[in-house]
Amino acid sequence: MLCRAASLLTVALLQVGCYNYLPLRRSSLVPSSYLAVTLTESGSEELALYLGPNALVVRGRYLSATERGLAIAVESVESRRGDLAHWAGETVVVPGEFVRQVEQRTVSPSKTVLLAGAAVAGFVIASQAFGPASAGALSGGGGGGPSPH
């Protein structure tokens, strides 16, 4: 049972994982990849009506390239102050001249292994501290009544 729980915990952590954002050329964009698009100063000003004031980074799934720019299903918009506004996947087209940088989110194997190892170690320590062995042994021969003759 302990091994199964540890396995489930490890799989859950690997699903969440840790990510890195790596720079990407627009020519190598693949539909449905998760992107972080950093806007230029003028892009932030021009798209304020759609994205909110002081928008800096648009994160979401890349849909396609249109003649107007990059179509993105937006999941969040980060402002210059660091505030995060969550979106529900609405499509926004970011014109190419307003894009400073495009980064793709990728799984970081080293961070994920480190996180999974720490979680498993914590689980093992907790199970040894609070598991069945710490409850004490149940005694089978308690002081009941007199023994039968």
Number of domains in the chain: 1
pLDDT over 90 at 27, yes or no: no
pLDDT tens track for 30-44: 887 889 999 999 999
- Residue 91 covered by a domain: yes
Instruction: Residue 99: give the domain boundaries.
Output: 2-107
- Residue 138 covered by a domain: no
What pTM did the predictor assign?
Answer: 0.58
Query: Quick one: average pLDDT of 90-107?
Result: 88
Cα gap 121→37, rounded to integer Å: 37
- Residue 149 covered by a domain: no
Confidence of residue 125 (pLDDT cuts 50, 70, 90): confident
- Residue 143 covered by a domain: no
Given this model, what pLDDT does residue 5 score?
62
- Residue 59 covered by a domain: yes
CB atoms within 10 A of CB 120: 15
